[in-house]
Amino acid sequence: MRCSRFASSLIPALVCLGVGCRDQQPGTASQVLSTWVAEPEFRFGNTPEGLFLVRPYARVDPLRNRVLVLDGVDVSAWTPTGDLLFVVGGRGDGPGEFRRPGSLFIHDDGSFSVPDQFGSRMTRFTANGELLEAELGPGGRVSYQGFPLVLASSMNGIFLGHPSIPADLEVGMAGAEPMNQRPVLRVRESEPGTWQPPEPLLWMDVGSRTLEVSLADGSGVFMAQPFGDWDEVAFEPGAAVVVRRNRGPGVVDLIEVSVTGDTVWHRRLQFEPRQLTAEVIEQSGAETIRQLSARPGVSVARVRAAYYEALYRPDYIAAVSGKPVLAASGDVWLASTEAADTLTVYHVVGRGTTNQPLRRVLLPQEMFVTDATSTHVWGVMRDEMDTPYIVGRRLVEWNRPES
């Protein structure tokens, strides 16, 4: 199913959204090659046969011109125009079934694998959706300092992942020291069915990740720090890409490590620094304070004081947010924190490159990006009834009119 073409009404909003504009100080203008927009082209979702998407996650297989969608315990394959090719999975413990699948990885030959239950089992299907193998992973047999592991699909039997640490322990429960560091871990077999203790390959700074608001009844509410600049990581079989966001005003580091523990790529990006102002802080906290104060017997003044006491306030806003997207195109997509009324700004970085100019892509705020090819960006959007759809938008370079 195809959508109408890109509406020109969005263009005025793109005139200047931050870095690289003529009236701003030089920051990333030298490393940003061009600005791109994305025209609506593909959109699909529920089928007459009764397949209903709930919380889909889409990955692209450009060599075979199809999209794979993980939704709950099912994996479905589609053409870009919305023709359903096949569905595999289902809830259960049998061959090809899942309990709690965590992600979806497409391999070079078109086969795809799904890690289940935090790495307890890795199920791989052929390109046609036939069950190929179900590899037993470390799962609950291995932990890191007592914490369960979240693992990606393996490469040559070696898994990468990180420990899953509860929010209350992360911030320091009952006077304990906060856990400000979290490792990227490697897990290997010493012999069939026996796993070595997890080995830290790289440490991530997560000290600014969690905000705890203590309420009058003694309970605590946990949420993400709105101005946190903690490290993020994305995995694929055999590699982990870490984004460091706290290396200085406007600075972002990208680091890729392999299963051998080697750093195979490191690139530092310098964006235009944006100071965190009192006005931005106040605007950000107003709705959260209002919602927390709606509880019976909760004082607005107390909630406000508790919120601002726990709030992390750096001098500068981190240049990017969220996890990196490791795209099928070989690029890394980073969501920018540039301000825009109805748009999200993404920076597209050539993975493995150290001096290739970046692309700057402007997308609707409601689009959640999950993958991209050299011609399209793919993700999820929801309609006015909160129904999710898989969308593919064609990337088009935007030629800004001369002023």
DSSP letters of 269-281? EE----B--HHHH
**Ranges of residues in the chain whose predicted pLDDT is under 50:** 1-30, 403
> What's the predicted TM-score (pTM) here?
0.89
Residue 308, in any domain of the structure: no
Of 196, 185, 290, 192, the C-alpha closest to 233 is 185
Residue 375, in any domain of the structure: yes
Residue 177, in any domain of the structure: yes
Please, are residues 120 and 244 in contact by the beta-carbon 8 Å criterion? no
Of 43, 61, 123, 52, the C-alpha closest to 393 is 43
Please, are residues 52 and 380 in contact by the beta-carbon 8 Å criterion? no
DSSP 97-124: -BSSB---EE-TTS-EEEEEGGGTEEEE
Please, are residues 127 and 172 in contact by the beta-carbon 8 Å criterion? no
Q: Per-residue pLDDT tens for 239-255?
A: 999 999 999 999 999 99
Q: Per-residue pLDDT tens for 340-358?
A: 778 999 999 999 999 899 9
Torsion of CA 229, 234, 239, 244, to 10 degrees: -10
Query: Percent helix, strand, coil in the chain (nearest 5)?
Result: 15, 45, 45
Please, are residues 102 and 57 in contact by the beta-carbon 8 Å criterion? no
Tokens of 118: 């935090």
CA end-to-end span of the chain: 38
* Cα distance between residue 169 and residue 174, in whole Å: 9
Number of domains in the chain: 1
Tokens of 235: 């995995």
Domain containing residue 217: 8-276+314-397
Residue 307, in any domain of the structure: no
Residue 299, in any domain of the structure: no
- At 400 the pLDDT is 62
9-38: b or e for each residue (b if 16 or more CB lie within 10 Å)?
A: eeeeebeebbbbeeeeeebbeebbeebbbb
Residue 200, in any domain of the structure: yes
* Cα distance between residue 323 and residue 309, in whole Å: 27
* Edge-to-edge strands, sheet with 149-151: 149-151, 159-163, 181-187, 199-205
Residue 292, in any domain of the structure: no
Residue 215, in any domain of the structure: yes
Q: Which residues face 259 on adjacent strands?
A: none
Alpha-carbon Rg of the chain, whole angstroms?
22
382: CATH: 2.120.10.30
DSSP 15-61: S--STT-TTS-SSSTTTEEEEEEEEEEEEE---TTS---SS-EEEEE
